A and B are shown apart, each in its own frame.
Chain A
């Protein structure tokens, strides 16, 4: 520490260890992490989500049986040592199906976040920054699509999509249809989700950009000759990151519930792929005789969605100190 920057003399080194500043300088992300880890509900949820991710990745290790293995000698069994959560009408192990089902739910979560980041954020940034016709086009689209219940739109779109992919015209649709078949119908769900999951984030980012655009630091950046691209990527994007993270987290349970709902109705993932929505639909069919086949998937889905919501709540409180009451 011999060089002197800006003409200031360096501080004398501390004589005792106790004089070392105990608190490192404030930093949004470190502060946010600190606040998040003090929120008990958020920590519990974070641990649950982490476990769920591990279970999904190592499903083949965690699951006691292959999810599609049928055992017609032991159908509709209650919970036992051999089958911790019992078996279904075809003698398939419920626990194994739930474990593999987590892969579908988490894939949906991942794709939903990707859509938000790849479609919602750039559209919001550009609509807010460039304004004019682009803003009108993007925001009117968002308004029209948001005016109707998400699920209503998704169901109408996926009905159309399923029919088109069943009788594909042209090589592109045939390829999409084939991929959809391999993924057990998951691709169709992703496309339908792509229509709705970016809407709120695009609107949110645009609003942020509209207010940030007039701030002095943007003016300063423009003054020193920064390009539009640089202003958007280096100045606007980082400043919208915190609300985007919160909104994306809140979007995840919605996407997982949408997939489960579509699969429940027979419009999403197709059997034998064990989407939690399919497990619940099969549970409903058998509920009078074997209520546990309905109870377990419903409870697991509920817990998962609740945890993502608590995580979103925690992130919002941690990342946006302005919103903190008291």
Chain B
């Protein structure tokens, strides 16, 4: 087990390396600099000085190695747009906000999605199943910026229950709409997987045995079926994370949340390439770690799986 974890952790290095190299090359092959597009063109001398200050006049291999060494020390370089904060500082300030919203969204997805899927499976082919499937497809099909728009229109503008934007910490009412908007995607994924997985498990022998023992339907579903049905559901944890990350791009921007998703979008539209590169690296690391945790969790859920 320990060797397995160690080996998987070591394998993360080459894959992160590939992501880093690809992004680095793309970012540096992108023509133009953030100083090109201002209305008042900068004098050539200033541009040269700026390029020198950001080491853009070094040979590309040197820039690559320098960046790598600095990144390993936690220094992701200066931001082009923000003079007073480095990329690491920007990420350090915005990531916690997004992490709180992301975790709360995942929690929402678990608390709503899994029971919804289970209910749909138990009430298979009844109106409850169909209603749940409509909700699920809506969550799956609509992109986060549509969900957050509709939530704002209904809860903030039509009903006036919630503010139209802002961030005052995770326990403020302002966090409700972002959590709902981001979390409804993963919730729909979880509901769909729980439903189909539970339907499959319900036909198996050990369920019939449990029924023959005279257990109540609730006991069968909760104690016997769900435990086995949840194993395939864990596989989608990686997909849910991807959903939360891309959801944050839009939701944080529309709802004015100072998170890393909004920083990412701003870095793209503002051509702040060091920030873009740094955030992509953080996402890649996050996704690799979650995939590892998912693979390890199979062993706890299904003792038949051995790690070698």
- The reply on B137 being an interface residue by CB < 8 A is yes
Question: Among the listed A148, A150, A261, which residue makes an inter-chain contact with B250, where contact means beta carbons less than 8 Å apart?
Answer: A261
Task: Report how far A253 CA is from B18 CA in the complex, Å.
Answer: 30
- Check A167/B31 contact, CB under 8 A, given A302-B142, A306-B142: yes
Count A-B contacts at CB 8 Å.
128
Looking at the complex, which of A83-91, A95-103, A240-248, A291-299 is the stretch in contact with chain B? A291-299
- Check A144/B150 contact, CB under 8 A, given A159-B30, A167-B31, A265-B265: no
Do the beta carbons of B125 and A326 come within 8 Å of each other?
A: yes
Residues of A close to B71: CB separation below 8 A: none
Which residues of chain A in 210-261 are interfacial with respect to chain B, using CB atoms and an 8 Å cutoff?
253, 257, 260-261
Which residue of A is nearest B279, CB measured?
A: A152
Interface size on B (CB < 8 Å)?
Answer: 50
Do the beta carbons of B18 and A144 come within 8 Å of each other?
A: yes
What distance in Å separates the Cβ of A193 from its nearest Cβ neighbour in chain B?
Answer: 15
Looking at the complex, which of A20-28, A53-61, A131-139, A279-287 is the stretch in contact with chain B? A279-287
- Check A160/B143 contact, CB under 8 A, given A166-B32, A298-B153: no
- The majority secondary structure among interface residues of chain A is helix
Provide the A166-199 mask, 1 if CB < 8 A to any CB of B, else 0: 1101000000000000000000000000000000
- State the B residues within 8 Å of A (CB): 15, 18-19, 23, 26-27, 29-32, 124-125, 137-138, 140-143, 145-146, 149-150, 152-153, 157-158, 164, 196, 199-200, 242-243, 245-246, 249-250, 253-254, 264-265, 268-269, 271, 276, 280, 283-284, 287-288, 291
- Could you write out 15 A-B pairs with CB less than 8 Å apart? A147-B287, A149-B283, A152-B283, A155-B268, A156-B26, A159-B268, A159-B271, A163-B32, A166-B32, A167-B31, A260-B143, A261-B250, A283-B149, A301-B142, A309-B137
Given contacts A152-B283, A295-B149, A313-B137, list 16 more A-B pairs with CB under 8 A.
Answer: A144-B18, A147-B288, A148-B19, A149-B245, A149-B283, A151-B249, A156-B276, A159-B30, A253-B141, A257-B142, A267-B268, A283-B149, A287-B152, A298-B146, A309-B141, A326-B124
